[in-house]
Structure formats: C-alpha cells, structure tokens
C-alpha cells in the first residue's frame, strides 16, 4: 500500500521559517494537501492541490510538490501555528495520510 512519510517533529523559533516534508513514491504526480490539527480539535485544511490556500488561511502557509517530496512551509511562524500537520494524497482512489509532524514553536 502507498505510504507517506513525515518527520515526527519540527522545532522553530517565532518569526522563523518551518519546513515540513512529506515523502512518497512519485508523489509529484499526485495532488497533495496539508491539514493542521490542534489538540482536541478537528483537522483544518491549510493547503490543497499542492500549493493553494483556502480562504481564511494566512499567506505565511505555502506548499510545493515535486519528485518524491511535498513540502509545507510556514514563513514567519507564530505561536498559534504550533500544531500537528498531516499531508494527504490519493492513490487509486484510496486516501492516504502522512505519518504526521508535530511543530513546536520555541
């Protein structure tokens, strides 16, 4: 079955840039989206179709996808961005989530 791998954790200082990778075989051939989940809350989509931001999502969130790796970048990270982040893609009509990355803003 298809797998998406993320680093377990990323630490970033306030105002700095956080980059979260998502790796999968030929991932660049698929659309990737990213979800943010804070404790006790339902996930929220922050990036869809590789690099599009839903309305209401700050411009500091951006995405890219090429080759075997998709990347979520948070520029000028704020304390409110501390959360778990999951990438997600589709493989033959089956949804697949990444392993998840905990972003800590120190």
Task: Name the residues that contact other proteins, by CB under 8 A.
Answer: 1, 30-31, 33, 35, 37, 42-45, 48-49, 54, 84, 86, 88, 90, 93-100
Rank residues 3 and 76 by Cβ distance to other proteins and give the closer one: 3
Ramachandran area for residue 80 (φ above 0: left; ψ -120 to 50: alpha; else beta): alpha
Q: How far apart are CA 22 and CA 34, in angstroms?
A: 10
Least distance in Å: CB of 41 to other proteins? 9
Closest separation between CB of residue 56 and other proteins, Å? 11
Instruction: Determine the Cα–Cα distance for residues 12 and 69; give it in Å rounded to an integer.
Output: 21
Write down the least CB distance from residue 80 to other proteins, Å: 19
Q: Which is nearer to other proteins, 13 or 98 (CB)?
A: 98
Contact 75, 62 (CB under 8 A): yes
> Between residues 37 and 68, which has the closer beta carbon with respect to other proteins?
37
User: Within 13 A of 4's CA, how many CA atoms are on the CB side?
Assistant: 29
């Amino acid at each position: 079955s298809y797998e998406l791998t993320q680093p377990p954790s990323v630490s970033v200082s306030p105002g700095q840039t956080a980059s979260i990778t998502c790796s999968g075989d030929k991932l660049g051939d698929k659309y990737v989206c990213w979800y943010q989940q804070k404790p006790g809350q339902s996930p929220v989509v922050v990036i869809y179709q590789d690099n599009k931001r839903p309305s209401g999502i700050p411009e500091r969130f951006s995405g890219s996808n090429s080759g075997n790796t998709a990347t979520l970048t948070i520029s000028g990270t704020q304390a409110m961005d501390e959360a778990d982040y999951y990438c997600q893609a589709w493989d033959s009509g089956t949804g697949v989530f990444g392993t998840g990355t905990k972003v800590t803003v120190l």
